[in-house]
Amino acid sequence: MARKVELEIERLRSLFPASIEVSVERSQDGGFFANISTFPGCVTQADSFSELIEMVNDAVRTYFEIPEGYLPHMPTYLPPVQVVRRLDVFPVVEKRTNIQFRLPSSNEAVAC
């Protein structure tokens, strides 16, 4: 990879904060809606929680207008495992909650 490309990837990655605030609501049909309050007007929805994680990351990458060729090099936000257990099991324990998505450390377990 050319040094110029590496520098651009580093610059783009630096735009991503260490964590983002996401308000997640369960819809009546069982899907999920997310308002990414860290970035005003940034919202998304999905049929499953695992798909919602992907959609939240896609929304953030779109917010920063990351070029398609750089997408594989961008960070991925993940919610804490205990939140996933609360929201993604039946019967539904909570219909709405606020979550802090963050970039995982290299030695941390992830939920997907």
Q: Residue 41's domain spans which residues?
A: 16-102
- The pLDDT, as a whole number, for residue 90 is 44
pLDDT per residue over 94-110, tens digit each? 667 788 888 988 666 55
Task: Judge whether 84 lies within some domain.
Answer: yes
Element (H, E) at 101: strand 96-102
Averages of pLDDT over each 10 residues, the chain, 112 residues: 95 97 89 95 92 96 97 94 65 69 74 52
Write down the pTM of the prediction. Answer: 0.77
- CA 54, 65, 74, 82 torsion-angle sign: negative
> What CATH number is associated with residue 68?
3.30.160
Element (H, E) at 5: helix 3-14
Task: Judge whether 95 lies within some domain.
Answer: yes
22 and 84 Cβ atoms separated by less than 8 Å = no
